[in-house]
Chains A and B, each alone.
Chain A
Amino acid sequence: MPTVKKLLRHLSTWLLMAGVAAAVSTHGRLLAQAPASTNVQSPAPSKAPVAAPARAQTPAKSPALTKPQPPPAEYAKLTTTYCVSCHSDKLKTAGLSLEGLELADVPAHAQIWEKVARKMRTGEMPPPTVRLRPDAATERGFGSFLESSIDYAASVQPNPGRTPVHRLNRAEYSNAVRDVLAVDVHPGEWLPIDDSGYGFDNIAAVLSTSPALLDRYMSAAGKVSRLAVGDLAMKPADEIYESKRDPVKGSRNEQLNDNLPFDSRAGMTVEHYFPVDGEYVLKIRFNGVAAGTEEALIDPYQIRIPMKAGLQTIGVTSPRQNLKVESEGPGGGRAGGGGGRGGAAPQVPTPVDLRLNGARLKRFDVVGGAEINRLIITGPYNVTGRGDTASRKKIFICRPVSQAQESGCARTILTSLAHRAFRRPVTPADIQPLMVFYQKGRTPGDFDSGIQRAIQAMLVSPDFLFRFERDPAASAKGAPAPAHRVTDVELASRLSFFLWSTIPDDELLGLAEKGTLSDPAVLDRQVRRMLDDARADTLVTNFAGQWLNLRSVETQKPDPVIFPFDEALRQAFMKETELFVSSIFREDRSMLDLLSADYTFLNERLAEHYGIPRVYGSQFRRVTLTDANRHGLLGQGSLLTVTSYPNRTSVVQRGKWILENLLGTPPPPPPPNVDTTLKPGPDGKPLTMRETMQLHRANPVCASCHGRMDPLGFALENFDGVGRWRDQDAGVNIDASGKLPDGTEFQGPAGLSNLLLTKYRDDFVGTATEKLLTYALGRGVEYYDYPAVRAIDREAARDHYRVSSVILAIVRSTPFQMRKGSDS
């Protein structure tokens, strides 16, 4: 029995930690107190084996669970013995009181019991320093008992939650416009940046509408509708494309991208949408040509050519200089070049090619530096016609041959477009107002301009910009509306926005309107089809890019004096991770491969950086990694740079990234007024990172959070601030060992990955599932979703957590297929 003194001392420590713990998220899961044991969540003995999935009538229900037995007597006193000393009504540690909470009706207090089960499972509670605690088996059993009680109640009376009316975000807007009108100009980029919530920019409650946004929607609708239909009255305008220049180094002596010939060097490519058939002027401006000089006014490097309307790729590049090894500034070197203009040294002109869709339009001989500054496209001049673009083909599914036919044909066209844009069957009430706009545009113009006006209005309609899910007809007055299945048509939108970030295609919408989409076999086939489709790349760019916080690579600025960083390396980092994550999704690998895969994608620049020999050329190709330390995401430059400062690594940032994104247990922010500057050594000697961080370990207030963050970061210390391997830091060999508060030890990046894949495998998978579910639902995951999350993880586990099995399990889950009734 602890003495009073000891108790008081413990109490004061706990109160201190509680103050910090109060800020810790309810999803805390790290620090399993049990030694590294087998990692499968031990199912409660009373649970029946999981039945075959998906019955035809009620596919949304989870497989049958048997009613749990009444709690064994030992559990009844569990909380009173071990928990209530802190979590009482009087003390309310961390705002929680378990006093008087009976086990007779666990689901009635599901929110509290879920928290308890989670904290117990990870060993966070009782706190590791407490001696009076239940044994491991009892703890596990109690957790399982709580979870299975809640799971059973959820299967009988599900709470699927409710996502509010969901506005399309920028990416979805661009894609929807592309798929309705076949115009791919990314109009979403003209809109203000969306707010994010829970780490994603597609959260319904956070996406709001402001007058500024509506203003932009209206002007975007005008621009897009004119591009899609073609506007004969369009006046010439300039479009300026600046080349991405590396401020530190010049461009590399290699092909820039696949749109340029293999033997070219550097330059730039743009995809430009030419609005109508006509003449356009393409001008190239080079660095070193000052505005206001004679050269700028003449603009010698330009051509005026007739172009067809539509999306074309314009490239500007030079032939490669094979004798030069690597990057150097451009210019000079062509044997036999004539003398240049004036000056003491003869200027040798550099050839620069202007290309259209790969074919050369014109070659210029550029004197005095051929570093491209910008490309300017002006036009249209002498408009000859609206063009024969993909969008016109898609829109004009009929052509009136006479005046009498026009109205009927317009109705046909607008019905087809509205059907696709509104993602549901359309009624005369939808089409009638659009016909009014058609007339408004027809009268002063022609048939096409009428259609253009109607499209302009349609693109601002709330039916296009929002995703609506309707409540079923009101039940008995006063009774709360029940949870209900969403309709097939609504399900089609949920699917397409989840997997493709766009509107459903004709096949998906067709099945939904026939009412067959919810059939489990059909649904299964559709999900697999969608995952195979190219549009599923949005899962990589939108979901994984935000989940793993990789979009920040774009703006990182490592110090070029300390690190050998340049734009080519930045682009390579981004490409590597994109290709890597894409391979996991496309090849339907296990989610665990994100950490354990023994391959990656490299080009010469990146391979040099990592110290991997015999990789040549600027193309990316799959390379097997022999060094286990480089396996998976934790060995990739993108992640390692994003979690570093411009001039050094950051153990804390790396630890935090892992806790937040892989383990779902983000640490709270530091207390206010904490001095976070690093102090140098006592006699000015540079310290290793471990020595510098030693205050985190010495001070118990710091250690309560840093104890779980820093060890993870230390294991990655062999990777410097831009991901290069190093053996020494401040002249001393790096000690890449880590030790967690519960005693778990690991060594180096390989050891860390291994730890995450074994002891914390369930946490990793659970976090990935929750993130995917958040992204899929457009709302944060709440306590009433945990039964669904557990069911998804169980289902995915049977298939080794393959990506497709996780996604299918999400699609079959209660929150995805159902919706809570309205509160009023």
Chain B
Amino acid sequence: MMISNKALPRRTFLRGLGATMALPFLDSMVPASRAFAAAKAPVRLGYMYTPNGIVGASTASPRPNMWTPKNVGENFDFSPTMKALEPYRDHLNVLSNMAQVNGRALGDGGGDHARATSTFLTGVHPFKTGGADFHLGISADQIAAKELGKYTQLSSLEIGLEAQALAGNCDSGYTCAYMSMSWRGPTSPLPPEINPRIVFERLFGDGDSTDAASRMARLENQKSVLDYVTGSLTRLQGSIGAGDKRKLDEYLEAVRDIERRIQLAEQQNLTIQLPTMERPSSIPDDYAQYAKLMLDMQVVAWHRHDPRDRIHAGPRRQQPRVSRDRHFGWPSLDLAPSGRC
């Protein structure tokens, strides 16, 4: 059993993050042996992003208060674009005046779109370059993933609705790498996965659906392959030199890591009911359908207790696609139209 019984003291976590604000009670603070028996639902962390601004976000907008509520306080009026969320009033907060200073030009000239995306979760002003020497910083979701990911099969999941290159010039001299919101380190962007089939496969492997039997079978399969690999490695260790042993130890470590996650998954399988979902075959043509599919998968992933940490990025081009229905009415929340800043 690799799971330790040590619970994470709240103060340690706070100190580690250098944060001074109160944090929600995270599941990692419950001793492991009790965690799975706990009836309390674990807390999830997710970031959703739509680019390039939203109509009615500021009072200077030609349509003020389309987005930003007019008043503050407990009984604020939901703005027209946000109306769909009104039933959940008791579960949400709307916070304003959180402009990111490092997203401004600060003397670098053009490139607002790239700066916006890259500073959203990092708070770091990106180094302006179109080449391979990009430099940013670790993003908030990855800081959380490093810690919370110890207890889940997948530490984090980055998905998006528009493809993103890792090289090339994407916005006035900024490389396309800056279109990633999620960064594992200053030079390691994590591009989002946009194909729902591949997201499904990352979550559920080669299985065709999320039902319990199929999941268990897949885990069994993986375990037996790993046992075979461990057996082969043990036999090999006998006939190679010390320096070579280290390389094989690396491989063995990787095996153990995956075995641990399988163990976690098996235990979770016993306690969790997942909504049934078939493996999607590809990206739906209809944009609204596509967005809904990706959001549904997020929900299923969270049902599975993992990953705690998720990023969902809306379209990120300069002119994102908007689904037009015949009446050309106001599109729903997750397809809020972009305004030019």
Give the interface of A toward B (CB within 8 A): 162, 164-165, 167, 204, 208-211, 213-215, 218-219, 221-223, 235-238, 240, 290-292, 296-297, 299, 376, 378, 429, 433, 436-437, 440, 456-457, 460-463, 466, 468, 470-471, 555, 557, 646, 822-824
Contact = CB atoms under 8 A, between A and B. Distances in A.
Nearest to A433: B228
Given A291-B321, A437-B228, 17 more contacts: A164-B244, A209-B250, A211-B254, A211-B258, A213-B254, A222-B206, A237-B282, A292-B287, A437-B224, A456-B225, A461-B228, A461-B232, A470-B239, A471-B239, A555-B167, A557-B169, A822-B244
A247 B197 CA distance: 28
Nearest to A552: B132
19 contacts: A204-B247, A211-B253, A218-B258, A219-B201, A219-B206, A237-B281, A238-B281, A292-B321, A292-B324, A429-B235, A433-B228, A457-B224, A461-B232, A468-B240, A468-B244, A470-B240, A557-B130, A646-B130, A822-B244
Interface string B221-260: 0101100110111011001111110011011011101100
B283 A240 contact: yes
B248 A165 contact: yes
A218 B201 CA distance: 12
Interface of B: 130, 167-169, 197, 201, 205-206, 208, 222, 224-225, 228-229, 231-233, 235-236, 239-244, 247-248, 250-251, 253-255, 257-258, 279, 281-283, 285-288, 321, 323-324
Nearest to A430: B232
Contact of B225 (A210, A218, A463, A555): A218
B225 A457 contact: yes
Given A219-B205, A291-B286, A378-B282, A822 B243 contact: yes
B161 to A, nearest CB: 11
A557 B168 contact: yes
B286 to A, nearest CB: 6
B282 A240 contact: yes
Contacts of B229: 460-462
A296 B289 CA distance: 14
Given A215-B258, A218-B225, A460-B229, A824 B241 contact: yes
Nearest to B227: A433
A218 B169 CA distance: 35
CB-based closest 7 A-B pairs: A822-B241, A238-B282, A211-B257, A214-B254, A165-B244, A165-B247, A824-B242
B169 A208 contact: no
Contacts of B253: 211
Contacts of A440: 224
Contacts of A297: 285-286
Contacts of B231: 433
A234 to B, nearest CB: 9
A215 B224 CA distance: 14
Contacts of A299: 285
Contacts of B240: 165, 468, 470-471
Contacts of B241: 162, 471, 822-824
Nearest to A221: B225
A440 B232 CA distance: 19
A457 B250 CA distance: 19
Contacts of B239: 468, 470-471
Nearest to A645: B131
A679 to B, nearest CB: 19
A462 B248 contact: yes
A468 B235 CA distance: 12
A462 B236 contact: yes
Contacts of A824: 241-242
Contact of B232 (A208, A221, A237, A462): A462
Given A219-B205, A824-B241, A291 B285 contact: yes
Contacts of B197: 237-238
Contact of A218 (B222, B236, B285): B222
B208 A164 contact: no
A292 B286 contact: yes
B335 to A, nearest CB: 11
Contacts of B251: 209, 214, 462, 466
A742 to B, nearest CB: 34
Contacts of B283: 238, 240
B278 to A, nearest CB: 9
Contact of B242 (A213, A223, A822): A822
A823 B243 contact: yes
Contacts of A237: 197, 281-282
Contacts of A436: 228
B225 A460 contact: yes
B187 to A, nearest CB: 13
Contacts of A165: 240, 244, 247-248
B243 A162 contact: yes
Contacts of A462: 229, 232-233, 236, 248, 251
Contacts of A210: 250, 254
Nearest to A554: B167
Nearest to B279: A235
A789 B305 CA distance: 58
Contact of A463 (B232, B255, B288): B232
Contacts of A376: 282
B131 to A, nearest CB: 9
A236 to B, nearest CB: 6
Contacts of A557: 130, 168-169
A760 B207 CA distance: 61
Nearest to A208: B250
B324 to A, nearest CB: 6
Nearest to B209: A235
B168 A555 contact: yes
A302 to B, nearest CB: 12
A297 B285 CA distance: 7
A213 B168 CA distance: 26
A164 B250 CA distance: 13
B285 A296 contact: yes
A87 B280 CA distance: 70
A336 B258 CA distance: 65
Nearest to B197: A237
Which of A165, A204, A457 has the most B CB atoms < 10 Å from its CB?
A165
A300 to B, nearest CB: 13
Contacts of B286: 291-292, 297
B260 to A, nearest CB: 9
Nearest to B229: A460
Which of B232, B282, B321 has the most A CB atoms < 10 Å from its CB?
B232
Nearest to B289: A292
Contacts of A208: 247, 250
B172 to A, nearest CB: 13
Which of B222, B244, B282, B285 has the most A CB atoms < 10 Å from its CB?
B244
A462 B208 CA distance: 28
Nearest to A223: B206
A164 B243 contact: yes
A471 B201 CA distance: 42
B275 to A, nearest CB: 19
Nearest to A214: B254
Nearest to A234: B208
Contacts of B224: 437, 440, 457
A291 B287 contact: yes
Nearest to B217: A444
A210 B258 CA distance: 10
Nearest to B257: A211
Contacts of B279: 235
A747 to B, nearest CB: 33
B258 A214 contact: yes
Contacts of A460: 225, 228-229
A297 B208 CA distance: 25
A290 B322 CA distance: 11
Contacts of B233: 462
A86 to B, nearest CB: 36
A331 B286 CA distance: 27
Which of B225, B253, B283 has the most A CB atoms < 10 Å from its CB?
B225
